[in-house]
Structure 1
Amino acid sequence: MADADGDAQPLVEPVPGAPAATADLGGETGLLIADYHAGIEAGLRYERGVELDSAADERRERLLSLLARTGADRLVVLGDLGHRIGSTGDAERAELAALLDAVGVPVTLALGNHDPGVAEAFGDRLRVTDAAGARLGDVGIVHGHTWPAPDVLAADVVCTGHEHPRVKLSDEVGGGRAEKAWLRGPLAYGPFADRNADLPDWGEEPPELVVFPAFNDRSGGTWVNVEGQFLAPYLPDGLASGEAYLLDGTRLGDYRRV
């Protein structure tokens, strides 16, 4: 895709100030998010005894606002649309039903580790890929808890969730804060070739990897500038020279040295 001046536009472009991106999916525009975690409040109550009021309405309205703002033709969720692993509880099912009633565009879900029950409950209302992901035009999508399929790795850009990347930032007086972050950079060939001997050589233009921040504000995250925190089997080795960006677009540089 090119702009009016003929310059190439990124296939995947973050929406300023939001944990979401638009993507050219080949004939349609997608709004991509990761880690929605519907019903998380009920899950936290069951798993940890934490009592929180539901933010289901706020999550849905925030997503609907982004769909309207971007004019996307399709919603793509990079895994963990739901929260309860293996089954959908009543709160999660109700939240997902209300969301799918409201979105107004086709929905594609890259199956996440929290999503098996979602496929069984709502498979007639959205397309669900297998855990190794799928390719939509020149964009590969995968959740990130398993290795991507070779076809996904043949895309120009590979989008993944699962990590919920965050950075710890310090100020001059010793204070600190946590911020959601994007990770972007070229995929390193070695770890994927070691896993799949038939993987074609990428040459001098490897696919770009985009690791999405979590859409859900209550789902925790991976501290990308703290050693040993990663969850995906191909990180950090598969992103040897990636950079971190805040939601407002601030470039932080090498994600491991922020």
Structure 2
Amino acid sequence: MARVEPVVGEPAAVADLGGERALLVADVHAGIEVGLRYERGVELDSRADARRERLCDLIRETDADRLVVLGDLAHRIGAPDGDEREELETLIATVTDRVPMTLVEGNHDAGVAEAFAADLAVIGPEGGVLAGDSAADVAVCHGHTWPDPALLDAEVVCTGHEHPQVRLEDAVGGSRVERAWLRGELDPAAFVENGGNEGNCSDPPEIVVFPAFNERSGGTWVNVEGQSFLAPYLPAALPSADAYLLDGTRLGDYRRV
């Protein structure tokens, strides 16, 4: 039985692949401070060291055998250079000194796989399954494009790109926004472009939409009416899904939070 369990308090999960434990994160957006400087003229102190150290701490704390990034390891769209490339080089070298690293290509990763081909295992934009003793159990994709329909044969599909968040209000009108997980049974017809080749529809997989690892990358307020989703198969592929805060609090149906 496939198991994908969030790490309490963190935007990360551990996938049990039988003989291997994989630490999964999505949307690291390394170099985001560089991108915000060019894109919006916003100057922020770099958190590159903190991001790298937290990833390494999580690898150690979870006793992971591998790190899998569900896309958008990098932030700026295009081949990495300058400060962003330097951050990526240090991050990848530090992680791979400890465990192998797999990247599922996201829409921000143009050129990353090529630039670091010697250091990373790469899964293409349409996604794939994680190799292990339970190779068909856990499928991964980023979410910016239509996935390979073969992912529907897995027990769990893990996806990023959406950066799900919930906007929470208190009794006196105050509000805050927090990163969240979305989990529910996947609607196969909505997951496949044009509704074709829907796999084993009698036993559809669970889908887990990951929060962004990078807290500065914004996101989709999933409980706000009229909010547009980013993935082409969302929200249709999640006809019923619960939202969870990073601390494990179950909020129930994300539409009613």
Q: Normalising to structure 1: TM-score of the pair?
A: 0.93
Query: How far apart, in 1, do the equivalents of 2:50 and 2:191 lie?
Result: 39
Displacement after TM superposition at 1:190 (Å): 2.4
Of 118, 123, 128 in structure 2, the residue corresponding to residue 129 of structure 1 is: 123
Query: How far apart, in 1, do the equivalents of 2:69 and 2:208 lie?
Result: 14
Moved over 3 A (4+): none
Structure 1 residue runs without a partner (length 5+): 2-9
* RMSD, aligned CA: 1.2
Give the equivalent residue in structure 2 for 1:217: 215
Give the equivalent residue in structure 2 for 1:94: 86
Query: How far apart, in 1, do the equivalents of 2:201 and 2:31 lie?
Result: 40
Q: Which amino acid aligns with 1:189?
A: P
Give the equivalent residue in structure 2 for 1:147: 146
Q: Which amino acid aligns with 1:76?
A: V
1:186-210 CA distance string (max 9 Å, x none):
001222356352332320x310000
Displacement after TM superposition at 1:89 (Å): 2.2
Match runs of 1:1-258 below 5 Å:
11-103=3-95, 104-136=98-130, 137=135, 138-192=137-191, 195=194, 197-203=196-202, 205-226=203-224, 227-258=226-257
Query: How far apart, in 2, do the equivalents of 1:229 and 1:115 lie?
Result: 23
Give the equivalent residue in structure 2 for 1:7: none
Q: Which amino acid aligns with 1:28?
A: E
Determine helix, strand or coil for the equivalent of 2:216: coil
Displacement after TM superposition at 1:158 (Å): 0.2
Q: Which amino acid aligns with 1:190?
A: A
Query: How far apart, in 2, do the equivalents of 1:178 and 1:197 lie?
Result: 37
What is the number of equivalent residue pairs in this alignment?
249
Q: Which amino acid aligns with 2:232?
A: P
Q: Normalising to structure 2: TM-score of the pair?
A: 0.94
| Greater mean deviation of Cα atoms: 222-231 or 180-189 | 222-231
Displacement after TM superposition at 1:26 (Å): 3.6
Displacement after TM superposition at 1:109 (Å): 0.7
Query: How far apart, in 2, do the equivalents of 1:55 and 1:193 lie?
Result: 37
Q: Which amino acid aligns with 1:206?
A: P
- Kindly indicate whether the alpha-carbon contact (under 8 Å) linking 2:187 and 2:238 is maintained by their aligned counterparts in 1: yes
1:39-74 CA distance string (max 9 Å, x none):
010001011111111110000011111001000000
Query: How far apart, in 1, do the equivalents of 2:149 and 2:18 lie?
Result: 19
1:116-152 CA distance string (max 9 Å, x none):
1211211110011111011012100000001111222
